Copies of this chain bind each other. A is one copy, B any other.
Amino acid sequence: MGKLREMLDADCGLPAALEVMGERWSFLILRAAFNGLSHFEEFLSGLGIARKILSNRLAKLVEHGILERTPQADDRRRVAYTLTPKGLDLLPAMLALRQWGVKYGLGVQSDLVLVDCRDHRPIAPIGIHAHDGRPIAYADLKWLYRTDVGEP
Instruction: Give A contacts to B, CB under 8 Å.
Output: 1-8, 10-19, 21-24, 27-28, 31-32, 34-37, 46, 65, 86, 88-104, 106-108, 110-134, 136, 138, 140-151
Q: Name A94's closest neighbour in chain B (CB-CB).
A: B14
* Chain A interface mostly: mixed
Q: List residues of chain B with CB within 8 A of the CB of A116.
A: 130-131, 134, 136, 140-142
Whether B129 lies near A123 (C-beta < 8 A) is: yes
Q: How far is the CB of A135 from chain B (nearest CB, A)?
A: 8
Whether A119 lies near B115 (C-beta < 8 A) is: no
Tell me the complex Cα distance, A99–B138, Å: 16
Whether B13 lies near A145 (C-beta < 8 A) is: no
Instruction: Name A93's contact: one of B31, B96, B150 (CB within 8 Å).
Output: B96
**Given A8-B37, A130-B123, are A117 and B91 also a contact pair (CB < 8 Å)?**
no
